[in-house]
Amino acid sequence: MGAEYVAAVEFEVIPADPATGNDVFVISPPTAGGRVHIAGNTGVSLSSGLHHYLKYYNNASISWGYGGSGNQLATVPAASALPVPTATERVASPVKYRYYQNVCTVGYSMAVRMCG
């Protein structure tokens, strides 16, 4: 799963939220090419937009798990039948700075993954 979906979704880099300067993503109805359109101002916001699309439009997710066990992708239809948004949805981060993991992740979660 994966390669056949590359042509079904398009990404665009846009400016940060003009009111706050925070990260933002926008999910829009299909473009003229029929592709789902996800825009964001950083790689993190684009990934957040893709996560939002998978979760709320496909009832699916990609997450932590040993050997892919956290991935829930069985509900994603074929690339040619992906659900399409009917209206534009814009989500701005409520915080200025975001980061991946925290101090406890390395102490707890990562130890299990590295030793398991």
94-107: per-residue pLDDT in tens? 988 876 666 665 55
Q: Which residues pair with 13 in a beta bridge?
A: 40
User: What is residue 5's three-state secondary structure?
Assistant: helix
pLDDT at 109 over 90: no
Q: Domain limits at 82?
A: 3-115
CA dist., res. 105 & res. 64, Å (int): 12
Say if CB 2 and CB 59 are below 8 A apart: no
How many helices (H) does the chain have, and how many strands (E)? 3, 4
Share of the chain above pLDDT 90, in %: 41
Measure CA 105 to chain center.
21
Confidence of residue 108 (pLDDT cuts 50, 70, 90): low
Please tell me the distance from the alpha carbon of residue 79 to that of residue 105, in angstroms, as a whole number.
34
Query: Within the chain, where are the H helices?
Result: 43-58, 103-107, 109-115
Residue identified by tokens 């989500």 is 91
Mean pLDDT of 108-113: 55
pTM: 0.79
Q: Is the pLDDT of residue 33 over 70?
A: yes
CATH code for the domain in which residue 48 is found: 3.30.379.10
* pLDDT reading at 63 higher than 80: no
Confidence of residue 23 (pLDDT cuts 50, 70, 90): very high
pLDDT surpasses 60 at 60: yes
Q: What is the domain count for the chain?
A: 1
